[in-house]
Amino acid sequence: MEQLINTVLRSLSEVVASTVKVIPALLVALIIVFLTRYAAQFVQNLVISATKHTLRSESLKLLAVKSGHICTWVAGVILAGVVAFPGLELGDVIATLGLGSVAIGFAFQDIFKNFLAGILLLIQEPFRIGDQIIVNDYEGTVERVDIRTTKIRTYQGERVLIPNSTIFTSAVQVRTAFDARRTDLGVGVDYNTPLPQAQSLLWRTIAGTEGVLSDPTPEIDLVNFGDSSIDFVVRYWTRPQQKQVRYVQTQAVLAIKQAFDAADINIPYPIRTVYYYDQEQFHEAHPTSTDSQPNHRQNR
């Protein structure tokens, strides 16, 4: 019995001794992790300063900042692990990371898919920060491209977080990719209107509207014989931002209506012609000639 007690005490002594030996290393590892936080912030600020004048692309600046931040944390954690466990060699760390990355990859494949898609979006830069885009049912201004999601501010003032993999595999309409954007505005005139006069008036009116660009020049096209009107399409160019497009369209509608009123050009209402037949005046098989003319009227 006494021998068993001595064995247990000896074992506890060895455990306590080994723990005491490990405590300084653990404390140093914790200090390294603590300092890594400040080191990552320092590296991030350093990268921001270095890329401020060397890179023009905001997306590439963001990618460089995030890469520096992540690399600093990875280096700090590995260093802390080596210090905490002196017997752990760098080769063992790399091998462990390799095996662990496979298991983690299966468990977090969606996260890694969005991460890689975010990196590719930042490198390829199909759109820039501040661009107005349409992705599926969402439309708004790009605020930020993070590691997992892209943040879009809608025109209603709402924030939408779209997974990067969705953006990377979907059709994206970039509405501010170029310096000018075209608007097609339909206008109908009465069939009695002199078309050359209306076309010339439309061109002068739209060319003089505030916000309409002179290059490319506006175009006035005749496109259709409608039920109650002959239809024009006024094609003009503005700055691509949605607010500017809406403002100029409002000014264009006001200016065209005012010009048509001044020139006595009518924008017709839809007209439907309804025919009324007096069935009692018709024989079932042979209607008389005097009863064959229908009564009709036009409703406007």
Residue 300 has pLDDT above 60, yes or no: no
Full-model pTM:
0.63
User: Is the same domain home to 101 and 143?
Assistant: no
Task: Assess whether 101 and 9 both reside in one domain.
Answer: yes
Domain residues for 235?
181-262
Residue 292 lies in a domain: no
Residue 275, in any domain of the structure: no
Q: Is residue 299 part of a domain?
A: no
Whole-number Å distance between alpha carbons of 116 and 163: 11
Q: Provide the CATH number for the domain around residue 158.
A: 2.30.30.60
Residue 278 placed within a domain: no
Tens digits of residue pLDDT in 190-246: 998 999 999 999 999 999 999 999 999 999 999 999 888 999 999 999 999 999 999
In a domain, 291, yes or no: no
Of 48-52, 215-219, 295-299, the least confident: 295-299
Half-sphere CA count of 200, side-chain side, radius 13 A:
6
Q: What sign does the CA torsion over 272, 277, 278, 280 have?
A: negative
Residue 287 has pLDDT above 90, yes or no: no
User: For the domain that residue 189 is a member of, what is the CATH number?
Assistant: 3.30.70.100
Span 237-286, pLDDT tens digits:
999 999 999 999 999 999 999 999 999 998 888 767 677 766 666 555 55
Would you place residue 154 in the very low, low, confident or very high pLDDT band (cuts 50, 70, 90)?
very high
Inside any domain, residue 248: yes
Based on the fold, state whether residues 25 and 88 are members of the same structural domain. Answer: yes
Residue 102 falls inside a structural domain: yes
Q: Nearest CA to 234 among 184, 200, 268?
A: 184
Among 136, 123, 120, 139, which Cα is nearest to 171's? Answer: 136
Say which residue the tokens 């006494």 belong to: 2
One domain for residues 165 and 200: no
CA-nearest of 199, 210, 203 to 249 is 210
The answer on 141 and 64 residing in a single domain is no
Domain identity same for 35 and 60? yes
User: Do residues 213 and 243 share a domain?
Assistant: yes
Residue 87 above 90 pLDDT?
Answer: no
Q: Give me the chain's average pLDDT, please.
A: 80
Q: Name the domain count of the chain.
A: 3
What is the CATH number for 19? Answer: 1.10.287
| Same-domain status, 41 and 80 | yes
What does the pLDDT read at residue 211?
94
